[in-house]
Amino acid sequence: PIPVILDVDTGVDDALAILFALAHPGLTVLGISCVAGNAPLDRVVENTLRILDVAGAGDIPVAAGAHRPLIEPARAASHVHGEGGLGSLVLPATERRAVPENSVELMRRLIEASPEPVTLVALAPQTNLALLLRLYPGLAGNIERIVFMGGSTSVGNATAVAEFNVWHDPEAAAIVQGSGVPTYMYGLDVFNRVAVDEATAEALLAGDSPLGRVVGALLTNRVLAGTDGDTEYSGLIGDAGAVCALVDPGALRTQLLPLRVQLSGYGRGQTLADLRRNPGEDIVHGLAEEWQSVEVALEVDVPRVTALFL
Ligand code: BDR
Ligand code: CA
């Protein structure tokens, strides 16, 4: 199995991703690192611990990391994930607690102790990962790569052009991109496509399996569709799709693209990708350090990934 550390802001779809990662035999989840994003940090930690209880995976260490981005204040996405972070789902309280060390120290310890290079799966703003790579750049040698949900080569969600995770802490994302660790971007280009149909989600919700009922409740969480207060079913598996991409890479078409994180102006938080046929011919790329080469998922076989997830 591939050794992984998940960095999360649980979060409806982070919860789906954690459940999938724990269930898949091709992955060993070494630990989970929490960061402020979808919800405030204390909620993220509590939601993560409760989800581990649902999965019966109480022995996986969970740590609390950054409670806000490097520069800006935290801006939770309660319009998408609800005040508590898990939509309308309220899970039973847990006796479990986070480990005493912070996220960066937990990740350092796990990466150093791993006999094989560790894959970091970043499903949240990248504040913790930026701090880790700034404090311990030498760890890069034992990090296989960073698979991140974030960014977009086209439309955004937090703004017209910026995706939430990158927008929430653009400096952190830029630090991670510039760290020298190979990165794989599972952005909105594919994230917005992988969904479970409503009948299947309702069947899970009404079924006999306690785990299935939690997955059904997460999938049927309704998000605000517009300014008039309407909500709609999306069925998106969200962050879980990035974990699916890790275990079934053939289900996606990817391309190595020059990419940069925009830090100023309206485009702040945008992952600007150079989609020209021959980007390497542009003299600018030879001069500007802020362009990084990133493997970007551009197309996804939706039925294949949905079936894998289910
Ligand atoms: C990302 O931000 C959060 O709302 C989701 O959990 C996902 O990681 C989507 O932009
Ligand atoms: Ca997330």
Asked whether residue 118 carries a pLDDT value surpassing 60, the answer given is yes
Segment 103-120 shows an average pLDDT of: 98
Phi and psi angles of residue 241, each rounded to the nearest 5 degrees, phi first: -65, -35
Residue pLDDT, tens place only, 179-221: 999 999 999 999 999 999 999 999 999 999 999 999 999 999 8
Alpha helices in the chain (DSSP H): 12-23, 41-55, 78-81, 103-113, 127-135, 164-168, 170-177, 188-191, 198-205, 210-219, 240-247, 283-287, 302-309
ipTM field: 0.96
Let me know: does 17 contact 238? Beta carbons within 8 Å.
yes
48 Cα–ligand 2 center, Å: 12
Asked whether residue 229 carries a pLDDT value surpassing 70, the answer given is no
57 contacts: CB under 8 Å, gap ≥ 6: 22, 29
Enter the DSSP assignment of 79. Answer: H
Asked whether residue 285 carries a pLDDT value surpassing 70, the answer given is no
Which residues are placed with Cβ below 5 angstroms of ligand 2, an ion? 9, 11, 14, 123-124, 239
Provide the percentage of residues in the chain whose pLDDT is more than 90: 85
Task: Indicate which atom in ligand 1 lies nearest the CA of residue 11.
Answer: 6
How many C-beta neighbours within 10 Å does residue 97 have?
11
Q: Which residue has the higher pLDDT, 85 or 131?
A: 131
Residue with the two structure tokens 């310890």 = 109
Q: Any residues with Cβ below 6 Å from ligand 1, and which? A: 11, 13-14, 38, 77, 80, 123-124, 149, 157, 163-165, 238-239
**Which token pair is 269?**
């938080």
Segment 84-110 shows an average pLDDT of: 94
Residue pLDDT, tens place only, 139-161: 999 999 999 999 999 999 999 99
**Residue located nearest, by CA, to atom 7 of ligand 1:** 239
What's this model's pTM, rounded to 2 decimal places? Answer: 0.95
**Which token pair is 250?**
């053939």
192 Cα–ligand 1 center, Å: 10
Q: Taking the mean position of all CA atoms in its chain, how far away is CA 194?
A: 14
Asked whether residue 284 carries a pLDDT value surpassing 60, the answer given is no
Segment 245-255 shows an average pLDDT of: 98
Q: How far is CA 233 from CA 120, 123, 195, 205, 223, in A?
A: 30, 22, 10, 14, 7
Residue pLDDT, tens place only, 52-84: 999 999 799 999 999 999 999 999 888 888 888
Radius of gyration of the chain (CA): 18
Q: What is the pLDDT of residue 287?
A: 47
Q: What is the pLDDT of residue 85?
A: 83
Q: What is the pLDDT of residue 178?
A: 95
278 contacts: CB under 8 Å, gap ≥ 6: none
Q: How far is CA 12 from CA 97, 238, 274, in A?
A: 20, 9, 32
Kindly provide the residue ranges of all beta strands, DSSP E only, lying in 22-172, ordered along the sequence. Answer: 27-34, 62-64, 118-122, 143-149
The pLDDT mean for the chain works out to 93
Residue pLDDT, tens place only, 256-265: 999 999 999 9
CA dist., res. 173 & res. 129, Å (int): 9
CA dist., res. 127 & res. 145, Å (int): 17
151 Cα–ligand 1 center, Å: 10
Q: How confident is the model at residue 226 (pLDDT cuts 50, 70, 90)?
A: low
How many Cα atoms occupy the beta-carbon half-sphere of 295 within 13 Å? 15
Q: What is the pLDDT of residue 84?
A: 84
